[in-house]
Structure 1
Amino acid sequence: MIETRTGRDGRGAGPRTRPAPGNRAIDLAGAALIRTRDAALARIFSTWAYGQTLHGQMPDHMVLYPPELRPGRASAADALFQGRWFLPGGQVRAPGGSSPFAADPPSERWAEELHGFSWLRHFTTAHEANNGDAARQYAQKLVADWIATEGNWHPVAWRPQVIGRRLISWVANGALIIDGTELVYRSTLLRNMARQARHLARVAAIAPAGEPRITAAMGLAFSGLCLSEGHKRLTKGVQLLCRELDRQILADGGHVSRNPSAQLSILLDLLSLRDALTARNIEVPKPVRDAIDRMTPMLRFFRHGDGRLALFNGSTEGPEGAVDAALDRDDTKGKPFGFAPHSGYQRLAAGNVNLIADTGTAPPGAYSHEAHAGCLSFEMSVGRNRMIVNCGATKVLGPDWEAASRATAAHSTLVLNDTSSARMLKGKISRTLLGPRVMEGPVEVESRRNENEAGVWLDTGHDGYAGLFGLIHRRRLFLSATGEDLRGEDMLETAQARRRPKPWNPLYWHKVPEDPDFAIRFHIHPDARVSLAHDRSNVLVLLPNGDGWQFRARSGGGECEIDIEESVYLGSGDTTRRAEQIVVTGRVFRGEARVNWAWRRLSTRNAGHPKREDAEVPELPELEFPAGE
């Protein structure tokens, strides 16, 4: 039996301590100082005098083109060629061959993606697929346009993390944008890359905390590795990278943000850097090797049966083929482990069923800008088919959609009184200074796991509703050894001596109901078909491969109802798909509530809805959690 108790820092078992609020005066004061510093530096960096300090030895060639591990799509290149710049953060049309750099960006996120040039890989793929020069010529034109318009200074394009991503993209796609070009263009490009790299060497360490700082360090290291005069920058970039890996990569290999997409992105860059260092006969630093060795099994942990990522804490499914591209470089080819105590996740696997559950607290404030209020939510895939999902995340559809996707209701878990278990910063000044970080949420999340020949039991709980409602949410799961039977129990119980409701808290000036309603949501992947029995006693879910799964539920002491409601699926990150969700509703009675539910595989092909006489819900046995040894 394995038991973990996770605190706010997400680093596994430890003392039960209450985290500091996300909007403390000291945090706001520090953020104000940083903003003032950045504004002052921006004024300096934009001057002619500062630009002169970026002159230096000019690289005469690019030593190495490191591997581009992020898969490209020729169709995406075609859309960009036609002026449809659909990037995270929005979309812009630049028809008639006009430069996208002259367009008004719909958001800062879109501008960062545009100036980061990670989309160059699509043109490389199109060039290799069509064996023509149109993609190459257009990519070179875009690089030349950027140098002409933003090559000296731009408040977004010259942010450290944006420079880092751009340098990584330019060297990884160097064969596309450099080979076979005229001397003047090539010299201008290499000179400009050296200017960017010199500036990055001065500012990489003050990039925003988290993945952006790793990207800045990575870009600095690649510039030193791939440009002929950059050996000093390589040393500095690797030193900063190793320091950030020590800070951000947890002992179980997860990223401190708890975002599987960040896990994939950082690992792809690390693998590319490792391969490039090896190609140059340069020893790979031990912190880089150790980070890869820890992060690769964790990436496998997050992979569903379809080969793509689980949707937790701002993650999307990831680019098609990207997870496989990373795992193909893992010589061990090991199986996913069962639990990640430092990252705060559990994985249950049996037969061809994989279930991944969020059993952790929110990341530290500076790393929580994309964290979701999805504590105790889970996703489940059957073979290559996703069945139970979270809604996912989007950075394309605007702030309202982004906020909705972070709410507890967008996750497959219990929602109390239509209130999220974690709250994000909303104050205008606080949000401007600190960003949309998590302000308040579960302080203590417990999980207890037991495995034997019958299957896997998981007993979890969080106190995210204790401060407002005085209630603890507990969720118990059992997955049979065959993978054909998943049983669960959701309970609400009085917090007792833990966190009491605080009606004087200014966040909760509205009246808190004594017996609030609750809803247990199971979001179903849009590829599955969902049908509710006529007597509303059970639900059938039919997967694309013909497998049928029956869902049923009963309340332990009160009334509960099963219904089907509309949902939305944002797994790709840039499009919405209509979906459905199973919703079990009820009401807390005298400070407690309990619902037992079960998923059972009906058949492997062409399952039909149970006949009317079989529709009565059989008794669901209470989950008996095995005693520890």
Structure 2
Amino acid sequence: MRRGALAVADRIVTHPLNAWTWSGSADTRFAPRLADFRPADSQTVVEMMEGKYLLAGETVETGGTSPFALLDESDAWQLELNGFGWLRHFAGVTDPGQRAFARTLVRDWLARHERFDRDIWGVFVTGRRVLNWLKAYALLTDGASPDQMRRLNRSLAIQLHSLKVRAGLSPDPMARIMAAIALAGAALSEAETAGDLDALVGDLAALLARTVDGDGLVITRNPLHQIQILVELIPVNQALIQRHGRLAPLLAQRMEAMHRALDHLVLGTREAAFFHGCGQVPVELVLSIGAQSGIRSSGSGLVGGYGVLVDGPGKLVADGGRLPPIEASRDAHASALAFEFACGSTLVAGNCGPAPAQLDDSRDLFRHTSAHSAPTIDDLSSATIVGRGPGREAALENARPGAIGFDAAENTLELRSGAYGERYGLDIVRRLTLMGGGQTLVGQDRFVAGPGRKKQQGAFSIRFHLAPGVVVERSAEEDLIRLVYRNGEVWTFLWEGAAAEIDDSVRHSAHFGLNRTRQIVLHGPAFDGADIAWVFTRQSQG
């Protein structure tokens, strides 16, 4: 009901009869005060000037036309294009032609999209666009004529006004927080101190408190969203410290917790764990965020509904099954009891990640529990996609919320899911122990009678999605599978209490959309007392 009311209100304020009243003064002057700490790539500049745009894991060749003239590309690609995060690659170049090319692209956008368009002026993408233009303001105004300056400033002012009008009408918490960051960042960037700066920073702090939980994790539980917020929030916070230090404490404690929570969810591969819509994020971006703070996580423990085990170079992140609030579950996955495990730079097993932009029709398949290293019964998902329209993207758990506990003495997690209780009368209890300096992961999956009454017999599947490039060798004489990874490391997988098969799988790639790989599937009858044990262990060298 509330979502529908907000949608109607947004339609009213964006109707042409009302949108034309959005004000934006060309006299508003900005200064380049937001620094972009993200790494730049000179090769990306070359490729874009050649008409090749790698965005959202999809490469599009424009054939000499403006990328903003393309209408048939994926939504994810369009959002990345119109968010202008790629401007950072041009900000540090010295070649006049390359710098002029970036300015030409922005002016082309102004010529095509200066008027409201529901998709291109969405709250989230508009917030990112404003912030990225402000971070590249010195580049965009270099050599600009007075008319070009006025047009750029007026567009920024109008987009900021649209955020003030629409942010509160968005049901998406990520859109609301991005708008709040943009409004505070713009106030900090005004040449003359904005009169509403204190109020905007206060609003941002209050919204952060509602969008980030007590452990410092965004309520969507998506590590990518954590990264997106920090990428935009860090420059705003740095400018706040430099120019208005009295306001900095409003954000300091929450940002500290956010850095710590993200560090918990980053494996030894330096990639964030693939949960709730997070796929491959460039390692250099994760490292650059970490470099902005000296805060590090303190080893094994629980954070935001995840369990984390650390031993030497080994690290495991497992999902206790908590689903985000309905309004924050647009990208939620049914990942109860799933884990990702890496030892140093070797990803041993993990999840498939989100559907690539080119396969948007398969989005719900990648959200299914079977796309995760997790147990299921009859390959049913532990959560259901419900609703229609925008609500269709929300996931709801089938049964009781999951539970997760941590035993520090044993470096063990115990996770319990009641997702299958109503249909099968069974709960699944997963126990994970990391030992041997992070080189041995011991797992146990037990099926136990739950409070629900047994209604039908089912068969379990326990999936382990392996890293791309692994060579899988099956021993015919014993329950042992040998895994040879790209870096030469050899691991063995042993099990008892189930039959095993080897099947195809995929893993999300930032550059190729998907990488093909393999998965191990354990299967058997699901009944009260079924007990399956399994072990990943690294073979000693030499």
TM-score for the superposition, normalised by structure 2: 0.94
Unaligned runs of 5+ in 2: none
- Structure 1 residue 523, shift from structure 2 partner: 0.8
- Structure 1 residue 500, shift from structure 2 partner: 4.2
**CA-to-aligned-CA distance 1:15-54 (integer Å, 9 cap, x gap):** xxxxxxxxxxxxxx322222222222221xx34x753551
- Answering whether residue 85 of structure 2 is matched by residue 118 of structure 1, we say yes
**CA-to-aligned-CA distance 1:550-596 (integer Å, 9 cap, x gap):** 111111xxxx212211100114385111101111111124x442111
- Answering whether residue 537 of structure 2 is matched by residue 600 of structure 1, we say yes
- Answering whether residue 428 of structure 2 is matched by residue 451 of structure 1, we say no
Q: Return the alpha-carbon distance in structure 1 between the equivalents of residues 104 and 464 of structure 2.
A: 48
Q: Return the alpha-carbon distance in structure 1 between the equivalents of residues 331 and 200 of structure 2.
A: 26
- Structure 1 residue 462, shift from structure 2 partner: 0.8
Query: Partner residue of 1:25?
Result: none
Q: Read off the aligned partner of 2:504 and give its amino acid letter.
A: E
Q: Return the alpha-carbon distance in structure 1 between the equivalents of residues 365 and 40 of structure 2.
A: 30
Equivalence map 1:523-562=2 (5 Å): 523-535=465-477, 537-555=479-497, 560-562=498-500
Structure 1 pair 326/120, CA: closer, same or farther in 2 (3 Å)?
A: same
Query: Partner residue of 2:429?
Result: 474
Query: Partner residue of 2:222?
Result: 259
Structure 1 pair 33/433, CA: closer, same or farther in 2 (3 Å)?
A: farther
- Answering whether residue 40 of structure 2 is matched by residue 72 of structure 1, we say yes
- Answering whether residue 520 of structure 2 is matched by residue 582 of structure 1, we say yes
Query: Partner residue of 2:117?
Result: 154
Structure 1 pair 383/109, CA: closer, same or farther in 2 (3 Å)?
A: closer
Q: Read off the aligned partner of 1:561 and give its amino acid letter.
A: A
- Answering whether residue 128 of structure 2 is matched by residue 136 of structure 1, we say no
Determine helix, strand or coil for the equivalent of 2:502.
strand
Q: Read off the aligned partner of 2:143 and give its amino acid letter.
A: G
Counterpart contact for 1:59–1:194, Cα < 8 Å = yes
Counterpart contact for 2:299–2:310, Cα < 8 Å = no
- Structure 1 residue 70, shift from structure 2 partner: 3.1
2:322 aligned residue (355, 361, 364): 361
Equivalence map 1:474-513=2 (5 Å): 474-495=429-450, 498-500=451-453
Query: Partner residue of 1:9?
Result: none
Q: Return the alpha-carbon distance in structure 2 between the equivalents of residues 211 and 566 of structure 1.
A: 34
Structure 1 pair 168/395, CA: closer, same or farther in 2 (3 Å)?
A: farther
Q: Return the alpha-carbon distance in structure 2 between the equivalents of residues 134 and 395 of structure 1.
A: 33
Structure 1 pair 545/56, CA: closer, same or farther in 2 (3 Å)?
A: closer
Unaligned runs of 5+ in 1: 1-28, 502-511, 606-629
Counterpart contact for 1:464–1:472, Cα < 8 Å = yes
Bigger relative contact order, structure 1 or 2 (CA pairs below 8 A, ≥6 apart): 1
Structure 1 pair 379/291, CA: closer, same or farther in 2 (3 Å)?
A: same
1:383 aligned residue (344, 348, 362): 344
**CA-to-aligned-CA distance 1:252-281 (integer Å, 9 cap, x gap):** 111111111111111222211111112324
Counterpart contact for 1:111–1:156, Cα < 8 Å = no
Query: Partner residue of 1:352?
Result: 313
- Answering whether residue 337 of structure 2 is matched by residue 397 of structure 1, we say no
Query: Partner residue of 1:338?
Result: 300
Q: Return the alpha-carbon distance in structure 2 between the equivalents of residues 184 and 329 of structure 1.
A: 37
**CA-to-aligned-CA distance 1:498-545 (integer Å, 9 cap, x gap):** 2446xxxxxxxxxx7x32111111111013322111236210112333
Structure 1 pair 194/230, CA: closer, same or farther in 2 (3 Å)?
A: farther
Q: Return the alpha-carbon distance in structure 2 between the equivalents of residues 74 and 327 of structure 1.
A: 22
Counterpart contact for 1:112–1:162, Cα < 8 Å = yes
Q: Read off the aligned partner of 2:300 and give its amino acid letter.
A: G
Query: Partner residue of 1:520?
Result: 462
Determine helix, strand or coil for the equivalent of 1:398.
helix
Counterpart contact for 1:71–1:319, Cα < 8 Å = no
RMSD: 2.3
Q: Read off the aligned partner of 2:292 and give its amino acid letter.
A: R
Counterpart contact for 1:536–1:563, Cα < 8 Å = no
Percent identical among aligned pairs is: 28
Q: Return the alpha-carbon distance in structure 2 between the equivalents of residues 171 and 415 of structure 1.
A: 48
Q: Return the alpha-carbon distance in structure 2 between the equivalents of residues 185 and 435 of structure 1.
A: 43
Q: Return the alpha-carbon distance in structure 2 between the equivalents of residues 156 and 276 of structure 1.
A: 30
Determine helix, strand or coil for the equivalent of 2:433.
strand
Query: Partner residue of 2:23?
Result: 54
Q: Read off the aligned partner of 2:88 and give its amino acid letter.
A: R
- Structure 1 residue 89, shift from structure 2 partner: 8.8
Q: Read off the aligned partner of 2:154 and give its amino acid letter.
A: R
- Structure 1 residue 328, shift from structure 2 partner: 1.2
Q: Return the alpha-carbon distance in structure 2 between the equivalents of residues 283 and 201 of structure 1.
A: 24
